[in-house]
């Protein structure tokens, strides 16, 4: 018997993408969980495309850690940044806290340094917001 697909429900983090989407040549951006769920996406990115990006980026980040660990013979390899260059443009991905990744797609004319810098600013902003959020009341009183 097949069970229905269950989607994880998280707080929408799309707000952190707004400053990135204002940068020249940035087309799309997303906040992605390490297990491949979309936690926020640019308004012009369809839900289907965002979910595909999230799944592939999760796999790519895992592959990046694995190949780095293999080259360095260290099991605890941590990624700082992943960049993919194609004829269509660039994909940038950086860790954005515990089990989260920030990804940006930009066209070929983008200033890579500007995007990377602003991504770091938004990761810091996201971290401050998450750390300053009050604990949720789960309704159970232990």
pLDDT class for 10, splitting at 50, 70, 90? low
The number of CA neighbours under 13 Å toward the Cβ of 88 is 5
Give the single-character DSSP code of 132: H
Average pLDDT over residues 117-130: 88
Residue 108 phi, psi dihedral angles, 5° rounding? -60, -20
Average pLDDT over residues 82-106: 94
What are the residues whose beta carbons fall under 8 Å from the beta carbon of 88, sequence distance 6 or more?
107, 108
Which strands make up the sheet holding 26-33, listed edge to edge? 38-41, 26-33, 100-106, 89-95, 82-86
pLDDT digit string, tens, across residues 11-39: 788 899 999 999 999 999 999 998 899 99
Average pLDDT over residues 108-113: 98
pLDDT of 7 above 70: no
CA distance 122 to 111: 17
Contact between residue 111 and residue 104 where contact means Cβ atoms under 8 Å apart: no
- Extents of the domains making up the chain: 14-130
Q: For the chain, what percent of residues have pLDDT higher than 70?
A: 84
Average pLDDT over residues 58-85: 92
Mean pLDDT score of the chain, rounded to an integer?
86
CA distance 65 to 47: 27
Domain 14-130 classified CATH 3.30.450.30?
yes
CA distance 33 to 68: 20
């Amino acid at each position: 018997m097949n069970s229905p697909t269950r989607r994880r429900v998280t707080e929408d983090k799309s707000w952190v993408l707004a400053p990135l989407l204002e940068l020249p040549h940035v087309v799309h951006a997303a906040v992605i969980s390490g297990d491949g769920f979309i936690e926020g996406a640019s308004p012009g990115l369809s839900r289907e495309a965002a979910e595909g990006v999230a799944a592939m980026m999760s796999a790519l980040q895992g592959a990046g850690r694995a190949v780095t660990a293999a080259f360095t013979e260290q099991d605890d390899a941590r990624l700082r940044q992943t960049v993919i260059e194609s004829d269509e443009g660039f994909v940038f991905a950086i860790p954005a806290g515990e089990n989260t990744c920030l990804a940006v797609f930009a066209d070929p004319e983008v200033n890579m340094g500007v995007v990377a810098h602003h991504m770091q600013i938004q990761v810091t902003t996201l971290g401050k917001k998450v750390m300053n959020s009050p604990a949720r009341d789960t309704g159970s009183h232990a």
